[in-house]
Amino acid sequence: MSIVLARIDSRLVHGQVLEAWVPYVNADCIVVANNKVAGESFQRMVMQAAVPSSIKLIIGTLEETASILISTDLLRKRVLLLFANSDDALKARQLGVEYPKLNLGNMHSSAGKDRYTCTIALDHQDIEVLQQVEDQGVTIVSQCVPADREQNWHKLIRVGGR
Amino acid sequence: MKIMHRPKLNWLTFLRMYLRSFLLQSSWNFEKLQNLGFYFMILPGLRDIYGEEVPEDVRERHIDYFNTHPYFATLVAGTTLRLEAGSRVGEEPSVDAETYKSMVMAPFAAMGDALFWGGVRPLAALIGLLIASQGSLWAPVVFLLIFNLPHLFFRGSGLMLGYVQELHAIETVQKCRFPDLAIRLKESTTILIGVLCAYLSFKGCEHQELPAVWGFVILPIVLLFAWLAHKGVSSLFLVVLTTSSLLLLALLF
Amino acid sequence: MVAVDYLLAGMISVLTGLDRVALVQIMISRPLVAGPLTGWALGNPLVGLEIGMLLELLWLGRLPVGAAIPPDDTQVAVGATVLAAGTGHFVGLDGMPLVLLSVLIAIPLGKFGQVFDKLARQVNDRLAVSGYNALMSGHTAKMERCHLLGLVSFGLASLATALVIVLVGTFVLFTFAPVLIGAIQEAGLSLQYSLILVGAAVLLGTTNVNRGISLFCTAFIGTLLVLWLR
């Protein structure tokens, strides 16, 4: 199994992922690791409707997806792994999911978060959590779509949010 | 406040919402994306359901963050209004209007992107280009027709489908297998790209008074450029590269 | 009536620009349509069509998705057509070389479009806040006005992009045309075909379907064989 892209994207399965990233990294399997979505049958149905039948879609809780990712089930798949937020990315890592690089896609703004790029809003806790992920040897970059320039997240933090 | 009969929307309301859907993205913003647009679109429907004074909580939930493919927005609007109408008579669906919106917007956006931006539009553009290569001004007309017949139909039928079938509309959407249809359209597009490239190569050889077999030289070059584009090299760079090498050749020989 | 022509071209710049995101989206914003429309305003739709063909495929694969802002190929087409069908005549150039030069000058200037577009969306951020406040305090009509005001910022952004392309473009055209004219005339038709081929290659590279390359190659070889042996 190889995780060809691990990404934090609060919108999970949407256009940027399916139209831009899936072809770019040549993924044939999408794993959505999110406890909330895993329990919502309606939302799972909607997501399934959005993914072409040639791509395998797995939606599960963090524990479920971690055990699938660690097992040999997806040995020959090129996996695109999606998290909704920074906490999930850290928890998956702690559950033993090895991804060398973490892409920050969309982390949309809510009260108390500062916006660092057009699509990324973080609060102190996010930054702390991401720092912990990085301390485990993960390179963290921000890149909305493949056509954008890849940027190390420290550059964003240094510039500061608004 | 509960009432006895589920409020119904009249046909004029549907027409007004259909027309308003064309203004969905007029105030597109980074903060909440299409939020004002969505409220603007469903306002006639909300007035049919709640009367002139739309309650505060309803206003609050429909002016929040919203972002989906503009052509799928009418489908969301249809279901949303049906759920709102149902809530007035105390119906309790498995998913309420607010949750419904938050769940469908991203996947619908993906479907719309694949189907319209990735599928229908390039195919229509390729057909338009093949006509344009004959120097015909019908090219833009044909392009607009091929693209907009499905587009305009989709917006209208989405609104009705969402309203009539409520949450079950998703089952109809799933049955349509739009992502697979999008792939078929993309495959057709790549075939037409091949036809266009071969035609241009042939015309190029004719112009240079070379035998047409030289046209095959173009094939690996196009593939190389396609690979570069796939790797994220910008169109601007490729244009500059092509132009400067051709100008250099022209100056040298 | 030259002034009326340019006024009409300005209106087309705004309308096609709005069609990109803000209004209707029936794809009159595609270069293949925006080019001929602008050309028609200036009395030469065929020049616009040629420009539209050169530009149509280059950014077709860049999706107007979410917050990602693709290069403004609409105003590049409008601007290049104004250069080729309008101001360009004064440099003593004509026909395909002028079309090519206009397009080549307009393409890099299209970068300004992204800047203005972003600006418009930031202005809309403020509109969204006042629209929200208006609605929550019960002023529905004011909220609707705020929403529609977004059209103004998007429209102005488009017009500004077209103006920059035309003004800077005219200056560049006058400066570089004498230097480049010989080479452009020489390369002429090959350059025209090559630029469309670049666009086709970019679209091929960004439209990823599993069997894409083999479908493309088969279609290419088949078509060329038919044309060759016919």
> Whole domain around residue B94: which residue ranges?
1-124+147-176
Would B184 be classed as within a structural domain? no
Contact C117, C156 (CB under 8 A): no
Rounded Cα distance, C75 and C79, in Å: 6
Pick from A72-81, B208-217, C19-28 the range whose average pLDDT is largest: C19-28
CA-derived radius of gyration, chain C: 20
**CB-based contacts of C143, cutoff 8 Å, min separation 6:** B36, B39, B40, B63, C131, C132, C134, C135
Would A70 be classed as within a structural domain? yes
pLDDT at C18: 94
pLDDT at B194: 96
| Mean pLDDT, residues B219-245 | 91
DSSP, collapsed to helix, strand or coil, labels residue A29 as strand
C33 and B143: CB-CB below 8 Å?
Answer: yes
Rounded Cα distance, A83 and A13, in Å: 10
The CA distance from A76 to the nearest CA of chain C, in Å, is 16
B9: pLDDT confidence band, cut at 50, 70 and 90? confident
pLDDT at C145: 92
Mean pLDDT value across chain B: 91
pLDDT at C106: 93
pLDDT at B207: 85
DSSP, collapsed to helix, strand or coil, labels residue A9 as strand
Q: In chain C, what residues touch B200 (CB-CB under 8 Å)?
A: 193, 196-197, 200
pLDDT at C65: 58
DSSP, collapsed to helix, strand or coil, labels residue B63 as coil
**Do B99 and B36 belong together in one domain?**
yes
Rounded Cα distance, B139 and B133, in Å: 9
Q: In chain B, what residues touch C205 (CB-CB under 8 Å)?
A: 225-230
C25 and B194: CB-CB below 8 Å?
Answer: no
Would B188 be classed as within a structural domain? no
Measured between CB atoms, does A54 come within 8 Å of chain B? Answer: yes
Query: Please, is B251 exposed, middle or buried when counting C-beta atoms within 10 Å of its C-beta (0-12, 13-18, 19+)?
Result: exposed
CATH number at residue A89: 3.40.35.10
pLDDT at A161: 56
Closest to C210 (Cβ–Cβ): which among A11, A54, A106? A54
**CB-based contacts of C69, cutoff 8 Å, min separation 6:** C114, C117, C118, C121
Q: Which residue has the higher pLDDT, C87 or B216?
A: B216
pLDDT at A15: 80
> Whole domain around residue A46: which residue ranges?
2-105+133-150
**Do B30 and B112 belong together in one domain?**
yes
Rounded Cα distance, A150 and A144, in Å: 8
Helix then strand then coil, in percent of chain C rounded to 5, is: 80, 0, 20
Mean pLDDT value across chain C: 89
Would B202 be classed as within a structural domain? no
pLDDT at C222: 95
Give the neighbours of chain A: at least 3 Cβ pairs within 8 Å: B, C
A50 and B117: CB-CB below 8 Å?
Answer: no
Closest to A144 (Cβ–Cβ): which among C68, C118, C206? C68
Give the neighbours of chain B: at least 3 Cβ pairs within 8 Å: A, C
pLDDT value at C17 more than 80? yes
**What's the number of domains chain A is made of?**
1
pLDDT at A140: 93
pLDDT digits (tens, 9 = 90+) for A118-162: 788 888 889 999 999 999 999 999 998 887 888 898 888 877 655
Closest to B167 (Cβ–Cβ): which among A42, A52, A109? A42
B248: pLDDT confidence band, cut at 50, 70 and 90? confident
What percent of chain B has pLDDT above 70? 99
Longest alpha-carbon distance in chain B: 86
Rounded Cα distance, B57 and B54, in Å: 9
**What's the number of domains chain B is made of?**
2
A52-61, A94-103, B121-130, B204-213: segment of lowest average pLDDT: B204-213
Rounded Cα distance, B99 and B110, in Å: 18
| Mean pLDDT, residues C96-106 | 89
pLDDT value at C32 more than 70? yes
pLDDT digits (tens, 9 = 90+) for B62-114: 998 898 999 999 999 999 999 999 988 888 888 889 999 989 998 998 899 88
**Do B169 and B65 belong together in one domain?**
yes
B146: pLDDT confidence band, cut at 50, 70 and 90? very high
Q: In chain C, what residues touch A11 (CB-CB under 8 Å)?
A: 66
Rounded Cα distance, A153 and A131, in Å: 10
Would B195 be classed as within a structural domain? no
Closest C-alpha among A122, A118, A63, A71 to residue A95: A63
B19-23, B192-196, C32-36, C124-128: segment of lowest average pLDDT: C124-128
pLDDT at C41: 92
pLDDT digits (tens, 9 = 90+) for A34-47: 999 998 889 899 99
Q: In chain B, what residues touch C199 (CB-CB under 8 Å)?
A: 235
Spacing of C-alpha C150 from chain mean position: 21
Would B51 be classed as within a structural domain? yes
Contact B195, C225 (CB under 8 A): no
The alpha-helical segments, DSSP class H, found in chain B are: 11-20, 35-50, 56-62, 73-88, 97-112, 121-132, 138-165, 169-176, 178-207, 218-230, 235-252
| Mean pLDDT, residues C1-16 | 89
Would A67 be classed as within a structural domain? yes
pLDDT value at C81 more than 60? yes
pLDDT at B249: 84
Rounded Cα distance, B203 and B198, in Å: 9
Closest to B95 (Cβ–Cβ): which among A42, A47, A109? A42
C155: pLDDT confidence band, cut at 50, 70 and 90? very high
Would A24 be classed as within a structural domain? yes
pLDDT value at A79 more than 90? yes
| Mean pLDDT, residues C64-82 | 83
| Mean pLDDT, residues B33-43 | 92
Identify the helix (H) or strand (E) that includes residue A3: strand A2-9
pLDDT at A1: 62
pLDDT value at A97 more than 80? yes
C1: pLDDT confidence band, cut at 50, 70 and 90? low
